[in-house]
Amino acid sequence: MFRYYLKLGLLSIRRNPALSALMIAAIATGIGACMTIVNIEYVMGSNPIPHRSDVLYYVQVDSWDPNEAAVDVDRPPRQLTYTDGTALLEAREARRQVLSYMTWRVVEPEDSEQLPFQVQSRSTSADFFPMFDTPFVYGGGWDKSADDNGEYVVVINKEVNETLFGGEDSVGRTVIMNGDRYRVSGVLDTWDPMPKFYDLNNQHFGEVEEVFFPFSVSIAKELSSNGNTNCWKAPDSNGWEAFKNSECVWMQLWVELHGAEEKQNYLAFLDAYAESQKALGRFARPLNNRLNNVTEWMEIEGVVADDVQVLLGLAVLFLAVCLLNTVGLILAKVMRRAGDISLRRALGASRRAIFVQYIVEAGVVGLVGGFMGIAMTWLGLQGIRGLFGQSRMIDHLVQMNWTMILAAIFLAVMAALAAALYPTWRACRIQPAALLKAL
């Protein structure tokens, strides 16, 4: 029986090719628009480190201006001062902690044929690699003693390793940066967290650094941050020492805590620390220390751009228009076939039979629309790439995944069925006798 309805459905679709094409195109465009934007939201808002996101916490303490909150109504500054960052790092009250900031370096290849080149680099304490579970091709991170002793060690990524060492195992070899010689401790494999969750203060979807080296080294070399630096009060005087001791915030601290109790304890520790600073005349604002895990911090930092949310709203309305369009067309189709339906009813078709017949037809339209919608989504994403240009985020976008494809089909069929429901209900209500009176 189902096959009979399927046949009727296909026949009916073929009988009105222009109209069927219009319905399918409407569903496909609506689905395409929605799925394109949903895809963008999905990529932007996806959890970059799902297996660890609830044990990694971003630390904020309120060291800001007594007269004015750092962010919005009453939020603490988004980064830490050198004083607080290093104090909290050294306290080692969490299982692991990593303090870091972004800076630029120039790499001079030993091979004098090659030109020096600039790299984006991150100055960080040793726990960065185990905490964020970074993959290595060769070697690994450095250990805490390297931090403590200010050793010149470096972790480079695959591309830099390719450029400098032709992709060989370079552990133990030397990289020259700004005149200093660093020993390679490890080579990172492709690591592409999306968004770049560990530093949301700068570009949310920025590139992962190419080179990592110890925090203690960059401080000794007096390297300031190439990311955001914010001060509510000028340093007491010029020079590095004054800057280090200033109220300027420029570094990020992540800690690893397992379970609510550890989190409570760490918050208590932060409060105690703030109190101790108050005693020294700092932290004039009320206690306002925060711990947020990866997903919470992404939410707070608004990783999914407002524009995307506006677009999502518009895309949903767009789908609504497409659906209304389809409902109208299917209804018109049903009404035109009122005579046919009435005849079938007179010949003994039950309401259910009519219902199944039209819902199957609509389902077929929806399914085809859904498949076309996937193609449209792909086109949409290509279009987005064309519009927004090449970037790490966009590259992630264009790799559509199965979840999205299934979601698109599901959405399309649901949409088509929803669109078919009302007309089908109307079809069911057509009386067997209507034929006799139909004009």
Partner 1 sequence: MLNMKDISKVYRTESVETHALRDFSLHVEEGEFVSVTGPSGSGKTTFLNVAGLLEESSSGIYELDGRDVSSLNDNERSRLRNEKIGFIFQSFNLIPELDIFDNVDVPLRYRGFGNAERKKRIERVIDIVGLGSRIKHLPSQLSGGQQQRVAIARALAGEPRFLLADEPTGNLDSEMAESVMQLLESINAEGTTIVMVTHEPNLAQRARRNIYVRDGQLEEAVPDLQVAAAL
Partner 2 sequence: MEIGPIWRTMLRNKSSYVLIALQIAVTMALMVNAIAIIQERTRLMGRPTGIDEDNIFTFNSTGFDPNMDFQALVAEDLDAIRNHPGIDNAVMTNSLPIRNGGWGQQFQTEPGTDVESVGTGIYFVDEHGVDTFGVDLIAGRNFTSTEINWFDPESDDMWPSVVIVSAALAESLFPDISYDEAVGKTAYVNSVEPITIVGIVKTLQASWPSWEHIENASLVPQKRGATSARYVVRTEAGYRDEVIPQIEKMLAESYKGRIIRNSKTMTEVRNDAYASDSAMIKLLFFVVSVLIAITSLGIVGLASFSVTRRTKQIGTRRALGATRPAILRYFLLENFLISSVGVATGAILAVGLNMWMVQTFNLTPLAWYMIPSAMLVLWLVGQLAVYGPARRASFVSPAIATRTV
195 prior amide bond cis, ω within 30: yes
Contact partner, 335, from partner 1, partner 2, none, Cβ < 5-8 Å per class: partner 2
423 touches 334 (CB < 8 A): yes
**CB of 404: closest distance to partner 1 in angstroms?**
46
Residue 234: how many CA atoms within 13 Å on its side-chain side? 4
Rounded Cα distance between 236 and 242, Å, is 6
C-beta of 314 vs 438, nearer to partner 1: 438
Binding window for partner 1 (CB under 8 A); candidates: 129-137, 182-190, 368-376, 431-439? 431-439
C-beta of 233 vs 351, nearer to partner 2: 233
Contact partner, 437, from partner 1, partner 2, none, Cβ < 5-8 Å per class: partner 1
DSSP β-ladder status, 249-256 and 80-81: antiparallel
CB atoms within 10 A of CB 181: 11
Number of residues that bind partner 1 (CB under 8 A): 3
Q: Does 439 bind partner 1 (CB under 8 A)?
A: yes
C-beta of 131 vs 156, nearer to partner 2: 156
E strands, 205-248, in order: 211-214
57 touches 253 (CB < 8 A): no
Binding window for partner 2 (CB under 8 A); candidates: 77-85, 333-341, 344-352, 361-369? 333-341
Rounded Cα distance between 310 and 287, Å, is 35
C-beta of 18 vs 280, nearer to partner 2: 18
Secondary structure class of 133 (helix, strand, coil): coil
Residues 6+ apart with CB under 8 A from 371: 409, 412
Binding window for partner 2 (CB under 8 A); candidates: 50-58, 310-318, 343-351, 427-435? 310-318
Q: Does 55 bind partner 2 (CB under 8 A)?
A: no
Quick one: 271 exposed, middle or buried, by C-beta within 10 A (0-12, 13-18, 19+)? Answer: middle
Q: Does 3 bind partner 1 (CB under 8 A)?
A: no
Residues that bind partner 1 (CB under 8 A): 437-439
Name the site residues for partner 2 (rule: CB under 8 A).
18-19, 22, 25-26, 29, 33, 67, 104, 106, 108, 115-118, 177-179, 233-234, 237-240, 305-307, 309-311, 313-314, 317-318, 320-322, 324-325, 327-329, 331-333, 335-336, 383-384, 387-389, 422, 426, 439
